[in-house]
Each structure stands twice: as structure tokens, then as C-alpha cells.
Amino acid sequence: MKKVQEHASHGGMQEVWQHHSHTLGCDMRFGIYLPPHAVHAQCPVLYWLSGLTCTEQNFITKAGAQRYAAEHGVIVVAPDTSPRGVAVADAEGYDLGQGAGFYLNATQAPWAENYRMHDYVERELPDLVEAHFSASNRRSISGHSMGGHGALVLALRNPGRYHSVSAFSPIVAPMQVPWGEKAFIAYLGDDRDAWRQWDACELVRAAADSANKLPLLVDQGEADEFLDTQLRPELLEAACRQSAHPFTLRRRAGYDHSYYFIASFIGEHVAYHAAALADR
């Protein structure tokens, strides 16, 4: 592992690290914000998953989360959005291939070789963070758009692994929208049954009988240019209602899909996760 950036921020440090990922078979970068508390105590960790076209840089430079992470004593880890490198498969267009890993484990050639972002985020990255930094094993997860889909899916697929989950403008039903259909056909193949395990609405329905349901928190801008075509939060609202799954949808008038929206409410999300992470 090698540190490639460090910046003092709000009394703590914003760093970027590079390492070889055995899950993805390539070198990866991730951002990590270490709050002042991390100098003398283990801190819980919030994982942030970014959206299409992003690297680890977008969230750490645009969201302004460091101020709130410092206040609450939470480490924030922001991975890249796909495997990377000249030896890694890629495609034309911003919504498939590098920058568009969709936080799943691909089963189809040529993607299956490297595209295992679910396992990377769920297992390899926390193992690394908890071994090398002053991080406890208390974890929460959040993300934006494709990363909001990733956060919801990771939390729903792995009960007990995360203390809380939230999302900004998530793709809640990838099986039913163009971004998700394009990615799932490429990464998972034509069998739509195999897609269900990567779709938040389907996972909510599948867990309807579970006694232990992690509440879902979603913030959605009403002026989001992708709201009615790609995001469709009403589908998750309906699935949660049918399955009696606790769900909070906050519709924010006037806000679009950008990081200006995320920066406006990230403080509320960090506080929400910090409260869940502090619970005994």
C-alpha cells in the first residue's frame, strides 16, 4: 500500500492510498478521511460509493463531508467506482466498463475477470482499512446514484454487516431502467432471474419475511434530470410499503443530480450514520 495524497482537513487528514487488489486483479485507489479522534482512538467507518464516471476524487473534493466526519469522529472511505487499468476491460460510453462497475460481481466475459466491486467493497476494502488504520469494525454505507444502488444492495445483501445505510439519488430498480439494464446484460447476461440479487427493490421483496430489517434512508432532488428515467424512487417506496420495510424518502425541491445537492445534505447523512454507529 502506498499513500499518494495527503491534505490536512478540519483537524484531521484527507488521504488517498493505492494498493493492489487481489479481488479485482488490478491496482486501486481509495480516499480515506481520518478525523482528529483517529489519532488516539479507533473510529467507526462510513463507506461512500460514488456514481457513474467518478473516481475516488469526486466525493472527497466536492461533498464537503470532512467537516462533519471530524465533528462526529467518523472515518470516511471512498473507493473508486470500478477496476482500472489498460489490462482491464472497458467499453465505449460513460455507463459501462471503467467508471461504471455497478458494485456487483460480473459473471460474463470479458467483465468477470476483474469486475467484482461487490466483493471488493464488502470484504477486501474493510479488511484493509481495519488492518492499516485506526478503524473499528463498526461500518455504515452510503452513496450516490449508481453508488446509491451499490449502498442499498450491499446493505440488503449483507444483513448485520452495516449499522446503517443511506443514499442520494439512487438507482433503486436497475432491472427496470436503461442504465441498469445495459449494465446487467453486459455484466450478468440475459437471465433476468440472476439480476434480482443486485436490485434493491427485488432484495426488499425477498427479505419481506425477515425480522431484522435495516431502515433505508434516501434523499432525492426533485429537479434531478434522471429522476423519472433512471432513478424512480417511487418503485422502492412501493416495494418497502408492500414488505413493511422501514423507508424514509426525502424529496428535496429544486435540487438536481449534482454534488451541489450532496454537499447540501451530506451533514445530515453523516450525523445519521454517526448516531447508528455509536449505538451499543
Ligand X SMILES: N[C@@H](CCC(=O)N[C@@H](CS)C(=O)NCC(=O)O)C(=O)O
Cβ closest to ligand X, residue 146 vs residue 154: 146
264 interacts with ligand X by CB under 6 A: no
How far is it, in rounded angstroms, from Cα 76 to Cα 89? 29
166 is catalytic: no
Q: Is 145 in the site for ligand X (CB under 6 A)?
A: yes
Specify the pairing of strand 216-221 against strand 75-79.
unpaired
How does strand 216-221 pair with strand 135-143?
Answer: unpaired
Which residues 6+ apart lie within 8 Å of 198 measured at CB?
Answer: 102, 104, 153, 174, 184, 188
Region of 46-54, 127-135, 240-248, 266-274 interacting with ligand X (CB under 6 A): 46-54
* Among the listed residues 9, 21, 23, 58, the single contact to ligand X using CB under 6 A: 58
Distance (Å, rounded) from C-alpha 3 to C-alpha 93?
31
Which residue of the set 224, 243, 245, 273 is catalytic? 224
Let me know: does 98 contact 117? Beta carbons within 8 Å. Answer: no
**Is position 273 annotated as part of the catalytic site?**
no
Does residue 52 bind ligand X (CB under 6 A)?
Answer: yes
Q: How far apart are CA 51 and CA 224, in angstroms?
A: 14
User: 187, 217 in Cβ contact below 8 A?
Assistant: no
- Least distance from ligand X to the Cβ atom of residue 252, Å: 16
Under DSSP, the state recorded for 227 is I
In the structure grid, which three cell numbers stand for residue 186, read together?
Answer: 453486459
Residue 54 or 277 with smaller CB distance to ligand X: 54
Least distance from C-beta 206 to ligand X, angstroms?
26
Residues in contact with ligand X, shown as a per-residue x/- string from 229 to 258 under the rule CB under 6 A: ----------------------------xx
251 φ/ψ angles, rounded to the nearest 5 degrees: -90, 125
Taking CB under 6 A as the binding criterion, the range among 8-16, 133-141, 144-152, 268-276 that sits at the site for ligand X is 144-152
Q: CB of residue 100 vs ligand X: minimum separation in angstroms?
A: 9
Question: From the candidates 37, 144, 257, 269, which is the catalytic residue?
Answer: 257
Distance CA 185, CA 50 (A): 21
Q: Does 51 bind ligand X (CB under 6 A)?
A: yes
Q: Which stretch binds ligand X (CB under 6 A): 45-53, 71-79, 100-108, 248-256?
A: 45-53
Identify residues 106-135 at the interface with ligand X (CB under 6 A). none
Helices (H), 13-91: 56-62, 66-72
Residue 162 cell numbers, joined: 452495516
Q: Decide if 257 is catalytic.
A: yes
Contacting residues toward ligand X, per CB under 6 A: 51-54, 58, 62, 94, 144-146, 257-259
Active site amino acids: 145, 224, 257
